[in-house]
Chain A
Amino acid sequence: MKKLYALLAIPTVCSLAFAASLVSDPLPPKQQAWSFEGVFGTYDRGALQRGFQVYKEVCSACHSMNMVAFHDLAAPGGPGFTEAQAKVIASSYKIPAEPNDRGEIFDQNGNRLTRPGALADHFPPPFPNEQAARMANGGALPPDLSLIIKARQGGPNYVYSIITGFHQKPPHGFVVQQGKYYNPYFAGRNISMPPPLAQNSVSFSDGTPATVENEAKAVVTFLSWASEPQLEARHSVGFQVLAFLLVLAGVLFLSYRRIWHGKPVDQSSVRNTPGTGPETH
């Protein structure tokens, strides 16, 4: 009998050991409602513009977004800036200049020559190379944000959960590593990114209160657009395509029923590719 109890104890102990290892497993992302979900989903323009502001004033200090160009800001389905506004935004960035007429890319003091950004330019990265980015971030590499929403399981909910998931008490016995922060939504729960957002990190010109949740919601909307700038076109083309296919299926179904209504049973009709008629039997 003692032996039997011992046998029963094995899975219990195993499952306890298993439970202990779960402390570092990430929590499932918080589920949020997003305007761009569903068949008719579109991006919330206000959130896109506010999100751009959060990206520009907060995220872009460490994160690049190499695949997005300034002209995208004025493209259909995007944040809805006018071309003039996008030009002003572009020109506020300093882009490493092409060689000048004398073939120089550095000025007399050895500084890199720059020029104001143009619509065709992409967002410039905050660091010149990976090593510089790691050096400035305690050895960690802030990922490029161009595709971040599509590159993470859970998409917008995951990114939202990460950037709002700080300032929580680690469970008893959990060790927060030196130079890292506790974030229960991150794999391993030790994240190198410091809490990026705080109350009033930015000041929204449209009067939206700059709470952490509002900032996060806005920047995640913006990043979703950056990952999938054609989403609105995709949703509207898809609706037209499916509507057309449904009508076509209906017409084909009627043809199908009509043609099969009088299945031929004799050789002559096989030869002559007959039309329809009553079944002869």
Chain B
Amino acid sequence: MAGHSTYVPATGLTRWLDKRLPIIRLVNDSFVTFPAPRNLNFWYTFGGILAFMLGIQILTGIVLAMHYVPNSDLAFSSVEQRIMREVNYGWLIRYIHANGASMFFLAVYIHMFRGLYYGSYKAPRELLWILGVFIYLLMVATAFFGYVLPWGQMSFWGATVITSLFSAIDQIIPHLGTAITTWLWGDFAVGDATLNRFFSLHYLMPFVIAGVVGLHIWALHVPGNNNPLGIDPKGPQDMVPFHPYYTVKDLFYLVLFLIFYMAFVFYAPNFFGNPDNYIQANPLVTPPDIVPEWYLLPFYAMLRSVPQKLLGVMVMGGALATLLFIPWLDSSKVRSCRFRPLMKQLFWIFAADCVLLGYCGSQTADAAWNIAGVDLPLVWVARLATLYYFAFFWVLMPWIGKIERTTPLPESIAQSVLNKGRA
């Protein structure tokens, strides 16, 4: 991809293949000799971890689909009885898949915050970032469809609440929103038709994600990796070949990640779950608190913080859409926050802000903080946090880049690395 290929086929067969389908050359140039900056740190291992997680989810998902029945009368027992009790190691595959979704999102959030911190969205990597945002949006949709499939109470009511958001369009064009919602459901309520199409889409979308991941890696390999210094490599002294340097590093951290992941699968498999989803869906009984999975809580908090339904939907959608514009919102010439003292602080406030939003989303709608005898409703905390979320991207990013005094950049990656080694 980037640069000229150094692959030399060694045998008759590979020479023959190379003239017809240079697939070994492609793999060699992309994952073996591909030059990567020599200073990539721990936070850069999550790309590989994410590719691995996508593979795990697809593999376990294919096996689960062999035993799952997408029918509103049978779905719950096909999961809880057949898969969890009767299929050999069905419980293991199901817990790997369910916890895998949480781990996938944990990894993608780390990956995104890493990109934000080191300015990996800046030229010439704008498309790389945007493709990443699309992957994230596809992941959100896939996770939502998947969560509906076990047809527990939270599955059913989560599906009802989220699809009903489209009915907010009624406030602009009467009846259009309701019509869209009915069309999405395939019925006049969430039911069998909804479950069937969600299953179909849940099976389809991971392959769409895999396709966009291919584009994402392609768009990565043209400009090459960004790095913690955020400066362009000046020459080969700044680089190492991907293999063995990053294969071994990525593998080591992948295994550490797996230890963390498997600890949940085997010893706290329901940690991220909601007990209500072990109750079969019942359209006549609404659970007292309908909450999404943890990875969507910040957006849920934004939705709830706006008292007007349509505006709430727009704020939530806007929070996601904002991510697409980041490459052009940041006005700084310097990529990495290591050299941006002001942005570094604002970044960490932003990270804390996202956690705070997640916390607000996890609490009941009428929850409040009691500070020195005065009740501060969490909805107001969520409003302020939402305000900072948008201000960070739309006000602070364009403005700080203009006024900030950045610290001096090192001359090259190699110099920085070697100086550190000597010190």
- Residues on A lying within 8 angstroms of B by beta carbon are 11-12, 14-15, 39, 66-67, 72, 143, 146-147, 150-153, 155, 187, 227, 229-230, 233-235, 237-239, 241-242, 245-246, 248-249, 252-253, 255-256, 259-260, 263-267, 270-271, 273-274, 279, 281
B84 within 8 Å of A by Cβ?
A: yes
User: Cβ of B245 and Cβ of A152 under 8 Å apart?
Assistant: no
The smallest beta-carbon distance between B41 and chain A, in angstroms, is 12
Taking a contact as CB atoms closer than 8 A, the residue among B81, B241, B276, B374 that contacts A67 in the complex is B81
B240 touches A150 (CB 8 A): no
Q: Which residues of B contact A233 (CB under 8 A)?
A: 91
Chain B 55-96 residues near chain A, CB threshold 8 A: 77, 80-81, 84-85, 91-92, 95
Query: Which chain B residue lies CB-closest to A245?
Result: B259
B91-150: which have CB < 8 Å to A?
A: 91-92, 95
Q: Is B259 within 8 A of A249, CB to CB?
A: yes
Chain B 229-271 interface mask (CB, 8 Å, partner A; 1/0)? 0000001110111011100110110011011001101110110
A244 to chain B, nearest CB (A): 10
Question: Complex Cα distance A273/B150, Å?
Answer: 48
- Flag if A11 contacts B38 (CB, 8 Å): no
Contact call B248/A146, Cβ cutoff below 8 A: no
- Given contacts A67-B80, A67-B81, A150-B278, are A242 and B236 in contact (CB under 8 A)? no
A-B pairs, 8 with minimum CB distance: A238-B266, A151-B278, A267-B236, A252-B252, A150-B278, A249-B255, A230-B91, A147-B278
Say if the beta carbon of B316 comes within 8 Å of chain A: no
Contacts across chains A and B counted by CB atoms under 8 Å: 113
Q: When chains A and B are docked, how far (Å) is the Cα of A279 from the Cα of B275?
A: 56
18 CB-based A-B contacts, threshold 8 Å: A66-B77, A146-B80, A146-B81, A234-B269, A235-B267, A237-B266, A239-B266, A241-B262, A242-B259, A242-B262, A245-B258, A249-B256, A249-B259, A252-B251, A252-B252, A267-B235, A271-B6, A273-B243
**From residue A130, how far is it (CB to closest CB) to chain B in Å?**
10
Asked if B2 is at the interface of the complex by the 8 Å CB criterion, the answer is no
Tell me if B358 counts as interface (CB < 8 A to partner A).
Answer: no
Inter-chain contact A235/B91, CB cutoff 8 Å = no
For B288, the chain A residues whose CB sits under 8 A away are: 187
Q: Is the CB of B252 within 8 A of A256?
A: yes
* B418: Cβ under 8 A from any A Cβ: yes
Question: Hey, which chain A residues are within 8 Å of B236, CB to CB?
Answer: 266-267, 270
> B12 at the A/B interface (Cβ < 8 Å)?
no
Chain B 259-300 against A: per-residue CB contact (8 Å), 1 yes, 0 no?
100110111011000011011000000001000000000000
Whether A229 lies near B262 (C-beta < 8 A) is no
**Min CB gap B81→A, angstroms:** 5
Given A11-B375, A256-B248, A266-B236, do A152 and B266 touch, yes or no (CB 8 Å)? no
Besides A11-B373, A143-B279, A242-B266, 9 other A-B contacts (C-beta < 8 A): A147-B278, A150-B278, A234-B91, A235-B266, A245-B262, A249-B256, A249-B259, A263-B417, A270-B33
How many Å from the CB of B268 to the closest CB on chain A?
10
Known: A146-B80, A150-B270. A14 touches B375 (CB 8 A): yes
Q: Is A270 a contact of B35 with CB atoms below 8 Å?
A: yes
A239 to chain B: closest residue by CB: B266
Answer whether residue B32 sits at the interface, using C-beta atoms and an 8 A cutoff.
yes
Neighbouring A residues of B279 by C-beta, 8 Å: 143, 147, 151
Which of A150, A255, A267, A270 is the one whose CB lies under 8 Å from B248? A255
Interface size of B by Cβ–Cβ distance < 8 Å? 50
Is A153 a contact partner of B237 (Cβ separation < 8 A)?
no
Contact between B33 and A252 (Cβ–Cβ < 8 Å)?
no
Check if A39 sits within 8 Å of B267, measured CB to CB: yes
B414 touches A (CB below 8 Å): yes
Which residues of B are found within 8 Å of A260, using beta-carbon distances? 245, 248-249
Q: Is the CB of A150 within 8 A of B245?
A: no
Is there contact, CB below 8 Å, between A238 and B275? no
Tell me which of A151, A229, A255, A271 contacts B276 (CB under 8 A).
Answer: A151
A211 to B276, CA, bound (A): 31
B237 contacts A266, CB within 8 Å? yes
Question: Contact: A150 with B241, CB < 8 Å?
Answer: no
- B48: shortest Cβ distance to chain A, in Å? 13
Task: Decide if A259 touches B244 in the complex (CB within 8 Å).
Answer: yes
Q: How far is the CA of A56 from the CA of B370 in the complex (A)?
A: 48
Bound Cα distance A66, B38 (Å): 59
List residues of chain B with CB within 8 A of the CB of A270: 33, 35, 236, 239-241
Most buried by A among B235, B267, B269: B267
CB-contact partner of A150 in B275, B370, B374, under 8 A: B275
* A72, A252, A255, most chain B CB atoms within 10 A: A252
B255: contacting residue among A66, A72, A230, A252, CB under 8 A: A252
Give A35 to B350 CA distance when docked, in angstroms.
43
Chain B nearest CB from A129 CB (Å) reads 14
The answer to whether A238 and B262 touch (CB under 8 A), given A146-B80, A152-B275, is yes
CA distance A231 to B85 in the complex (A): 11
Question: Which residue on chain B has the smallest CB distance to residue A144?
Answer: B280
Instruction: Write the chain B residue with the least CB distance to A264.
Output: B240
How close is B243's CB to chain A, nearest CB, in angstroms?
6
**Whole-angstrom distance between the alpha carbons of A279 and B237 in the complex?**
12
Q: How far is the CA of A260 from the CA of B259 in the complex (A)?
A: 23
Contacts of A246 in B (CB 8 A): 259
CB distance from A228 to the nearest CB of B (A): 8
| Contact, CB under 8 Å: A273 / B255 | no
Nearest CB of chain A from residue B25's CB, rounded to whole Å: 15
Q: Are B256 and A273 in contact (CB under 8 A)?
A: no
Complex contacts, A239 vs chain B, CB 8 Å: 266
Asked whether B244 lies within 8 Å of A273 as measured between CB atoms, the reply is yes
When C-beta atoms are compared, the residue in chain A nearest to B259 turns out to be: A245
Q: Measured between alpha carbons, how far is A265 from B236 in the docked complex, in Å?
A: 7
Tell me the complex Cα distance, A229–B255, Å. Answer: 29
When each residue 346-361 of chain B gets 1 if its CB lies under 8 Å from chain A and 0 otherwise, what string results? 0000000000000000
Q: How far is the CB of B56 from chain A (nearest CB, A)?
A: 14
- In the complex, the answer to whether A271 meets B248 with C-beta atoms within 8 Å is no
- In the complex, how many angstroms separate the beta carbon of B254 from the nearest chain A beta carbon? 9
Cα A61 to Cα B146 with chains together (Å)? 37
Taken residue by residue from 145 to 185, chain B's Cβ proximity to chain A (1 for < 8 Å, 0 otherwise) reads as 00000000000000000000000000000000000000000
- Chain A: CB-nearest residue to B255: A249
Could you tell me the distance between the alpha carbons of A239 and B376 in the complex, rounded to whole angstroms?
Answer: 46
Residue of B nearest to A12 (CB): B373
